[in-house]
Chains A and B, each alone.
Chain A
Amino acid sequence: MNRKRTLTYTIPYILWLGLFVIAPVILLIIQSFGNLNGHFTFGNYVTYFSSGTYLRMTFNSIFFAFIVTAITLLISYPMAYIMSRLKHAQFWLLLVILPTWVNLLLKAYAFIGLFSKTGTINEFLSLIGFAPHQMMFTNMSFLVVAAYIEIPFMIMPIFNSLVELDKSYINAARDLGATQWQTLVKVVFPMSMGGVKAGIQAVFIPTLSLFMITRLIGGNRVITLGTAIEEHFLVTQNWGMGSTIGVILIVAMILTMMITRDRKKKGGKHGR
């Protein structure tokens, strides 16, 4: 392919990046230096780093995002591993992806139906003789729902990297006397690290800023940075502060990307 043609092909891509990625980020950064009257100020950043509220919120967000990522990884890796071994792997993958086609809000409401005081789970519990449990508005319910929502985005990249894995490595390991467990830990897992890292990126960052679930399922007893952004844009209309938190989330994203960067050439495909 000659150079000129490559260039014409990249124009839509460059336009897209410029309009929908670079320009908004620049606008966000500019906004973050504006106070309520639109004047230039560093005040928003000073407020952020000097207020216990925001720092605690940041810690909460990171903490919950970390746990959610850990839970999804623990569930997803074995699942992706088994799926990649199955006969109709693509079909099983489709089943995993299917729930992502359902609107997030609908899924949240479905969980309300499961978890609420008169919900399915409590009805089952009282049927077998247990007292109904308070499940809504607890950290546990938030973690379950958040993990459920993020699981497909963890499975997809891991699955892809496992499917792409050259079978001859496994055969070689087995031939050389490695047990099944050793093969898994020493060969398969390191070689699918790319997918794991991509999965972590695809789960950790969106979880940092989850906001609707924190209110619907967590009853605002779980507060993340997303909650604060929502409030600053919709209620206070303090776009400067909202943007500041947005910028901080972007920085957190870049940091996560750097830590989980793929240093090898080979890697899994991104889930989203």
Chain B
Amino acid sequence: MKKIIWLTTIILGATLALFGVNIFLEHTENVGTKNNGHQELTIYNWGDYIDPDLLKKFQKETGYKVDYETFDSNEAMFTKIQQGGTHYDLAVPSDYMIQKMKAANLLLPLDHKKLTGLGNYDKKFMNQAFDKGNKYSVPYFWGTLGIVYNDKYIKPGEIKTWNDLWQPKYKKSIMLIDSSRDIMGMALASSGQSVNTKSIPELAAAKGKLDTLMPNVKAIVADEIKTYMAQEEATLAVDYSGDAAEMISENKHLHYVVPSDGGNLWFDNIVMPKTVKNKKAAYAFLNFMSKPANAKQNAIYVGYATPNKKAVQQLPKAIKNNPSWYPDNKTLSKLEVYEDLGPNWVGKYNDYFLEFKMTNR
């Protein structure tokens, strides 16, 4: 008994001490910025999705203290903003989620008069179906869904389209990202259909086509796909361009191809959720991020493609002329942005995907 009491006291003591240190650290950190009238900006973004130096620069330029919080899925972010109790000034959802948040009245329209940098963005990436006229959002990054291959095992140029994956010689060598929309979308695009189809026969056919891919599939995994590809566990992978950039930075033998027969074009845009508290700071940040120099710095750090036209011009040639990250207009024109299909259709996509996963090899 005495031992237990002792142990409890020690644990409690340690917790209290850590708590104290935490308060102390927060206090000392705030001393510099508190004088500026307690101005905070809370950003809700994906993990590791901004150059931390930019946050410091923003803090210095404007005096607003940035509180950067992260999420790891659109759905988690949606739930947290919907349930309230949070005070996010800005958030960075993906395309279909913006549509969904709009429908759920979670977004505030942006005052375009207060946005100074809108002209810097490429027209191609503005005025998308999920947010006509960019009433609610400003593009942050964009990317594609494509194929990663390892040049030790697969010759460059061997893979050009989705259908190339179906060749029998790639038996048990492909890794798929565990996401129903993306994999169903891949099958749909390979047959020339829309990735947003609402037709049961088309979906059933796509699932049937996927079943015939199963002998080539080695695994269906989530985020681990990056580690596995970097370790050369598989020679091919279907994944997003962003993940591909991370893999390639770890293993130089990997390359990324945007298939020429269509697929998905995705966006992560900055929005102002209704939980906003400091609108002035939010607009200041939107304008700060649309400055070409800042957007360029961010694009180099994160490795995704920036929609900021002037920033692209400033990027090194090796990046901006690389069709993997900045595909030409012809390829781009074939790509489609996901629409929010509503829970019933998302459910159907998911059911078909689950069925596909159950297919015996």
Contact = CB atoms under 8 A, between A and B. Distances in A.
Contacts of B355: 53
A220 B357 contact: yes
Interface stretch (B33-41, B213-221, B285-293): B213-221
Given A60-B358, A215-B224, 19 more contacts: A37-B343, A53-B351, A53-B355, A112-B227, A116-B228, A137-B219, A219-B218, A219-B219, A219-B221, A220-B178, A220-B219, A221-B219, A223-B354, A223-B357, A235-B179, A235-B350, A236-B350, A238-B347, A241-B347
A136 interface: yes
Contact of B358 (A57, A137, A218, A235): A57
Interface string A112-152: 10001110000000000000001011000000000000000
A220 to B, nearest CB: 4
B357 to A, nearest CB: 6
A97 B105 CA distance: 51
A164 interface: no
A41 interface: no
B233 A215 contact: no
A226 to B, nearest CB: 13
B221 A215 contact: yes
B18 interface: no
A219 B220 contact: yes
Contacts of B175: 219
Contacts, number: 76
A137 B218 contact: yes
A60 B357 CA distance: 13
A220 B350 contact: no
Given A53-B351, A220-B219, A136 B343 contact: no
Given A219-B219, A234-B73, A118 B178 contact: no
Nearest to A219: B219
A231 interface: yes
Nearest to A236: B350
Interface of A: 36-37, 53, 56-57, 60, 112, 116-118, 134, 136-137, 215-216, 218-221, 223, 227-228, 231-232, 234-238, 241
Report the interface size class on chain B: 20 to 34
A235 B180 contact: yes
Contacts of A216: 221, 224
Given A136-B219, A219-B219, A36 B354 contact: no
A60 B220 CA distance: 17
A36 B343 CA distance: 7
Contacts of A232: 350
Contacts of B227: 112
B74 to A, nearest CB: 10
28 contacts: A53-B355, A53-B358, A56-B358, A60-B358, A112-B224, A112-B227, A117-B231, A117-B232, A118-B232, A136-B233, A215-B222, A215-B224, A219-B175, A220-B178, A221-B220, A223-B357, A228-B354, A234-B73, A234-B75, A235-B179, A235-B180, A235-B346, A235-B350, A236-B350, A237-B75, A237-B346, A238-B343, A241-B347
A219 B57 CA distance: 42
B344 interface: yes
Contacts of B75: 234-235, 237
B56 interface: no
Contacts of A136: 219, 228, 233
Given A53-B355, A234-B75, A220 B221 contact: yes
B72 to A, nearest CB: 10
Contacts of A137: 218-219
A248 B304 CA distance: 43
Interface string B50-84: 00000000000000000000000101000000000
A235 B75 CA distance: 8
Contacts of A36: 343-344, 347
B100 to A, nearest CB: 10
Interface in B192-225: 218-222, 224
A142 to B, nearest CB: 11
A96 B140 CA distance: 50
A229 to B, nearest CB: 11
B124 interface: no
Given A235-B180, A238-B343, A134 B172 contact: yes
